[in-house]
Structure 1
Amino acid sequence: MTNYRSGRINEEMKKEISNIIRSDIKDPRVTAMVSVTKVDVTKDQKYAKVYVSVYGEGKSKEDTFEALRNSAGFIRREVGHRVKLRNTPEIIIEQDNTIEYGMHIDKILQEIKENKKNDNE
């Protein structure tokens, strides 16, 4: 039963944090597209690790991630207003590179496929 509840909390937090980042953060450094990929709330609901994937190039990506880290307090306050929990968890924002890693692996597989095709000809 506890796993079911924690899963619901994680999904609700993910949905609300995505909405907050998309519509409420007015920081001009947030220029790249941001996607919340996962949220893990601890069992005691004191901390929430928010995994975000930032789509962008170089400096804009770094600036966007830094702006998100700096706005963790604002995100926490907004989550406290929107999600009814006994304790509003402390927001810890982590970078998630799994999408980029998957694209890199896909590119390598395509190159191997092309090399194999050229060797057979």
Structure 2
Amino acid sequence: MMVNVRVQRLQEQIKKELGVLLQQELKDPGIGFTTVTGVELSGDLKFAKVYISVMGDASQEEVALSALKRAQGFLRSELGRRIPMRYIPELLFKLDHSLDYGMRIEQMLKEIKDEKEGQTEDPAP
């Protein structure tokens, strides 16, 4: 599905503003090292899926998600002050595991490379 330019710009602006809000405005220690990795707006702009990445284990991810749900009202009101929109979308926070997946693949490739280098260094007698 082709997303129009206005929606793409709004998604990027919401992502940027939420990133700033999470890093500088929210004082909740449960949020920790949380990064906004993407935003997907619905067609009517009433809902925004906010994809986040949390540095840590599954329990830290759950703590961060619950902290973000508690802060949803504050985040929406701040977005309303910073972004001129008729309606500020409801924020739905989702975990983004793509960074973990990418790091895991990179680690596997490194292991394969190390194995191959180890095999070429040991000449057959």
TM-score (norm 1): 0.89
Shift of 1:58: 4.7
Tell me the SS of whatever aligns to 1:84. Answer: coil
Aligned residues: 119
Closer, same or farther: CA 100–6 of 1 in aligned 2, 3 Å: same
Query: Deviation digits for residues 28-77 of structure 1, max 9, x if unmatched?
Result: 2222x111111111121110111111112453343223211322222112
CA contact (8 A) 1:18 1:36 kept: yes
TM-score (norm 2): 0.86
Partner letter of residue 49 of structure 1?
K
Query: Following superposition of structure 1 onto structure 2, how do residues 55-94 of structure 1 map, counting pairs within 5 Å?
Result: 55-94=55-94
1:36 aligns with 36
Shift of 1:22: 1.1
Is 1:11 matched up with 2:5?
Answer: no
Tell me the SS of whatever aligns to 2:84. Answer: coil
**Structure 2, unaligned runs of 5 or more:** none
**Structure 1, unaligned runs of 5 or more:** none
